Structure 1
Amino acid sequence: MIHLTSISKQHGSQVLFKDASFQILPGSRNGLVGPNGAGKTTIFRLITGEEEPDNGQISCAKKTVIGYFSQDVGDMSGRSALEEVMAASARTVALGEEIRAMEAAMCEPMGDDELAALLERYGDAQEEFEHRGGYDLEARAQAVLTGLGIGPDAYNRPVESFSGGWKMRIALARILTLNPDVLLLDEPTNHLDVESIVWLEEWLASEYKGALLMTSHDRDFMNRIVTTIVEVANKTVTTYSGNYDFYLREREIRREQLLASHRRQQEMLAKEEEFIARFAARASHAAQVQSRVKKLEKIERIEIPPEQKTIKFEFAEPPRSGDDVVAMQGLAKTWQLPEGGDKSVFGGVSGLIRRQEKIAVVGVNGAGKSTFLKVLAGETEPTSGTVNLGASVNLGYFSQHAMDVLDPKRTVFETVQDAIPQASIGVVRNLCAAFLFQGDDVDKRIDKLSGGEKSRVVLATLLARPINLLVLDEPTNHLDIQSREILLEALQKFAGTVVLVSHDRHFLRSLVGRVFEIDHGEMRVYEGDYEYYLHKTGRDSRAA
């Protein structure tokens, strides 16, 4: 379907890949992985024709429809949500209008040759219209919007009235409704809640018949959808036949084999070089020496690619808090709506959070999870009821908007140093290095950082302080899979208390032992891990 053959590409002095090849076959499910900056987005742009390869060839079957969802949704305005979604299928809509015009023309008298030509055009148009799913376009658009959490009551809302996260869902709905032959998805789960992620999994598995190439930082999502991994790293593209977990295992096996081959080659080279050095001056061995010199010149040296950088850190042992960390009594929160009136977010919440508990706060988007964490963290006052922190509790709060409160003019070093003003320069630099800010990177200004880099800065400033209660609102949102794994391991070892919101099911399954669910203004407590919660609520069949 799509073949990338011996392609090379570099941006400035940075070589992304050289002489790389892979293919996207009809109906295949491909996961695109690799470290940040390796060239994953460039692969998408090469396939869509937004960029050209420096060398090599990209071939695509005729009439192939490609749909590309990226994190850059552009401006949206002047249409309703439903109209915006259907606008992506402009070619399908135009075909429908052409078909109706041709049907009207057929009712008029015309010559045999003219009618034959019209019937041929009509047949071609009908075939393409059907191939693009034109007969159920509006119904499909409505079903996709609903699946992504935008129900019938919001179909006709002006698209500009939606927040950035919801506009991303509309942009995703545009591409899914297009129902293309090849679907390119760049982080499709970033702004979705668990319910919408599960719906998308089911849609890709049962409804979508085309080929898929996607990136995702959601490990569970990758494992359930893809059957091939395409890795962009070390200036090449490597294909693995399996899901993400298979890829991790196979990559380690291949690296061990490469290391063993490298060791054997180095031993052989050392022996040959020793022979050359020993007998280079002897005329009796001149032919042998020359033969071995030529042999060494022809040998292709095995290179060991550098290991991917990952965050390496551990939380310092926190000061011990009292056994009762947070006591809630009759807790309620109501927001005043801009158009007047009140909206109850949650009410009547009473309970106790105990030392060293790891608690997930779950619920659909808009249920009030972030508001609950804000109340716990003291960022907003409850409308009624009380929140009391226990003895010796030191609270650290990470919000979805934590990056927004960073001073854009400060450097990474200055920001971390502000959190620990008494620490030496060496301690600050070590902490920065633990979060992958090494050398000149520590002097980067905050406004020059990516979302993932800003997240790491905020986590570094949290780590710097003696905290024993962590309140975390989507801490994994901008982190890649490797960084999520390391954060997960650190939180598993953390001796304090954790309350968090996350849409990463692997993260929740591996960490929490208790679940608070907010649903229609009420909070239900499940005294078990995330799997127990899924089972008790009947969600395990959809989320497992």
Structure 2
Amino acid sequence: MIHLTDITKQHGNRILFKNAGFQILPGSRTGLVGPNGAGKSTIFRLITGEESLDGGEISCAKKTVIGYFSQDVGDMSGRSALEEVVAASEVTVALGAQIRKMEAQMCDPLAEDEMTQLLERYGEVQQEFEHRGGYDLESRAQAVLTGLGVGPGDYDRAVESFSGGWKMRIALARILTLNPDVLLLDEPTNHLDVESIVWLENWLVEEYQGALVMTSHDRDFMNRLVDKIVEVGHGMITSYAGNYDFYLREREIRREQLIASHKRQQDMLAKEEEFIAKFAARASHAAQVQSRVKKLEKIERIELPPEQKVVKFEFATPPRSGDDVIAIQSLGKTWPQDDGGEKSVFSGISGMVSRGDKIAVVGVNGAGKSTFLKTLSGLTKPTTGSVTIGANIFPGYFSQHSMEVLNPQRTVFETVQDALPQQTVGVLRNLCAAFLFQGDDVDKRVDKLSGGEKSRLVLATLLGRPLNLLILDEPTNHLDIQSREVLLQALRGFTGTLLLVSHDRHFLRSLVDRVFEIDHGKMVPYEGGYEYYLQKTGVVH
């Protein structure tokens, strides 16, 4: 369907990949992986023609419809949500208009050859219209919007009235409704809650028949959907037949084999070079020396790709708190509305958070999870009831707004040093390295960091302090899979008390031992981990 052959691309002096390639076959499901900046999004833009190749070729079968979802949704205004989604299928809409026009022409008297030509053209247009799903375009748009959390009550709402996160959902709905032959999805799960992620998973498995190429920081999502991994990095593109977990295992096996081959080659080269050096001056060995020199010149040297060193940071044991960490009694919260009334977020919530608990706060989007965490952390006052913090509690709170308080003029190292002034340079550098700031990265200024890097920086300053209560609202947002794994291992080793909201199911499954579900303004506690919660509620995640 789409063949990328011997492709080369560089940005400035940096070569993203050289003489590389892979294929996108009909119905294939491919996960695109690699470090940030390796060139994953560039591959999408090369396929769509938004960028041009420096070398090689990308060939695509005729009439292949390609749909591309990126994080840059562009300007949306002047239409309702439903109109915006349908408008993305402009070719399909135009084909429908052509069909209606030709049907009207058929009612007029025409010469036999004109009617023949019209019927032939009508058949071609109708076939393409059907191929693009034109007959159920609007109903499909409604179903996709609803699945992504934009319900019937919002179909006719002006698209510009939606927040950035909801506009991302509408942009995703546009591409899914297009129902293309090849679907390119760049981080489709960003800004989606768990319910919407599960719906998208099911839609891609059960409804979508075309080829899929995607990037995602959600490990469960990737594992369920893809049967092939294409790794972009170190100037190469490497394919693996399997899901993400298979790729991790196979990559390690291949690396060990490469290291062994590299060692054998280095040993052989050393012996040959030793022979050349020993007998270079002897006329009796001139032919042998010359032969070995030529042999070495022809050998293709095995190169080991650089590997980011994993630094394990030993977090200081936090001070021991009392057994009762947070007592919640008849807690309620309302927000004032523009019309003078009040909207109840939740009410009548009671419960106890005990020392050492690792609790996931779950619920549908808009259920009040973030407000609940803010109320527990003291950042917003309850409308009714009380939150009582226990003895000897040293709390820390993280949300996406935490990144806004970073000083843009400070470097990574200076930011960590400001947060932990008592620590030595060695400890601070280890902390930076544990959160993937290695080498020159520690000298990067905050205003030059990506969203994921800022998240990692704030989390490093938080987890490096001697806190015994962590309240984390979406700490996995903006983090790639490797960064999420770093955070997961850190939190698994944390001996204090933890409450968090996250849409990453692998993260929750691997970490928490209790679940608080916020549902219709009430809280239901589940005395078990995330899998226990899923079993009890019958929710399939």
Aligned partners of 1:232 and 1:238 also within 8 Å: yes
| Equivalent position amino acid for 1:61 in 2 | A
| Equivalent position amino acid for 1:98 in 2 | Q
Alignment of 1:296-335 (within 5 A): 296-308=296-308, 312-335=312-335
- In the other structure, the counterpart of 1:88 is 88
More deviation, 485-494/18-27: 485-494
Deviation at 1:420, TM superposition (A): 2.0
Q: Kindly provide the CA deviation profile for residues 277-329 of structure 1, in whole angstroms up to 9, marking residues without a partner as x.
A: 11112111111111111111111111111114667534321111111111111
Deviation at 1:270, TM superposition (A): 1.1
Q: Kindly provide the CA deviation profile for residues 158-201 of structure 1, in whole angstroms up to 9, marking residues without a partner as x.
A: 11111111111111000000000000000101111111111111
Aligned partners of 1:311 and 1:483 also within 8 Å: no
- In the other structure, the counterpart of 1:121 is 121
- In the other structure, the counterpart of 1:172 is 172
**Cα distance change, pair 230–418 in 1 and its aligned pair in 2 (3 A):** same
Q: Distance in 2 between matches of 1:314 and 1:83?
A: 54
State yes or no: 1:155 paired with 2:155. yes
**Identity over aligned residues, as a percent?**
78
TM-score for both structures, normalised by structure 1: 0.97
| Equivalent position amino acid for 1:466 in 2 | P
Q: Distance in 1 between matches of 2:116 and 2:456?
A: 66
More deviation, 216-225/393-402: 393-402
Aligned partners of 2:328 and 2:351 also within 8 Å: yes
Aligned partners of 1:312 and 1:435 also within 8 Å: no
- Gaps of at least 5 residues in structure 1 are none
Q: Distance in 2 between matches of 1:447 and 1:178?
A: 37
Aligned partners of 1:310 and 1:482 also within 8 Å: no
Aligned partners of 1:30 and 1:213 also within 8 Å: yes
State yes or no: 1:520 paired with 2:520. yes
**Cα distance change, pair 494–84 in 1 and its aligned pair in 2 (3 A):** same
| Equivalent position amino acid for 1:48 in 2 | T
Q: Distance in 1 between matches of 2:140 and 2:338?
A: 33
- In the other structure, the counterpart of 1:275 is 275
| Equivalent position amino acid for 1:454 in 2 | K
SS at match of 2:8: strand
- In the other structure, the counterpart of 1:284 is 284
SS at match of 1:85: helix
State yes or no: 1:462 paired with 2:462. yes
- In the other structure, the counterpart of 1:205 is 205
Q: Distance in 2 between matches of 1:189 and 1:314?
A: 32
Deviation at 1:266, TM superposition (A): 1.0
Q: Distance in 1 between matches of 2:330 and 2:109?
A: 79
SS at match of 1:318: coil
Q: Distance in 1 between matches of 2:362 and 2:34?
A: 30
Deviation at 1:497, TM superposition (A): 0.7
State yes or no: 1:446 paired with 2:446. yes
Aligned partners of 2:18 and 2:236 also within 8 Å: yes
- In the other structure, the counterpart of 1:233 is 233
Q: Distance in 2 between matches of 1:446 and 1:66?
A: 37
More deviation, 427-436/280-289: 427-436
Alignment of 1:81-480 (within 5 A): 81-308=81-308, 312-480=312-480
| Equivalent position amino acid for 2:380 in 1 | T
Q: Distance in 2 between matches of 1:351 and 1:425?
A: 42
Q: Distance in 2 between matches of 1:138 and 1:493?
A: 50
Q: Distance in 2 between matches of 1:87 and 1:404?
A: 36
SS at match of 2:319: coil
Q: Distance in 1 between matches of 2:473 and 2:192?
A: 14
Q: Distance in 1 between matches of 2:336 and 2:128?
A: 51
Q: Kindly provide the CA deviation profile for residues 339-377 of structure 1, in whole angstroms up to 9, marking residues without a partner as x.
A: 331111111111111111100000000000011110111
Q: Distance in 1 between matches of 2:309 and 2:126?
A: 52
Deviation at 1:426, TM superposition (A): 4.7
Q: Distance in 2 between matches of 1:339 and 1:281?
A: 96
Aligned partners of 2:436 and 2:483 also within 8 Å: no
SS at match of 1:231: strand
For this pair of structures, how many residues does the alignment match? 541
- In the other structure, the counterpart of 1:6 is 6
**Cα distance change, pair 401–426 in 1 and its aligned pair in 2 (3 A):** same
SS at match of 2:400: coil
Deviation at 1:400, TM superposition (A): 2.4
Q: Distance in 1 between matches of 2:406 and 2:274?
A: 58
Q: Distance in 1 between matches of 2:233 and 2:409?
A: 32
Q: Distance in 2 between matches of 1:224 and 1:117?
A: 48
Q: Distance in 1 between matches of 2:144 and 2:312?
A: 40
Q: Distance in 1 between matches of 2:200 and 2:436?
A: 33
More deviation, 452-461/403-412: 403-412
| Equivalent position amino acid for 2:271 in 1 | K
- In the other structure, the counterpart of 1:492 is 492
SS at match of 1:401: helix
Deviation at 1:439, TM superposition (A): 4.3
- Gaps of at least 5 residues in structure 2 are none
Deviation at 1:404, TM superposition (A): 1.9
Deviation at 1:272, TM superposition (A): 1.0
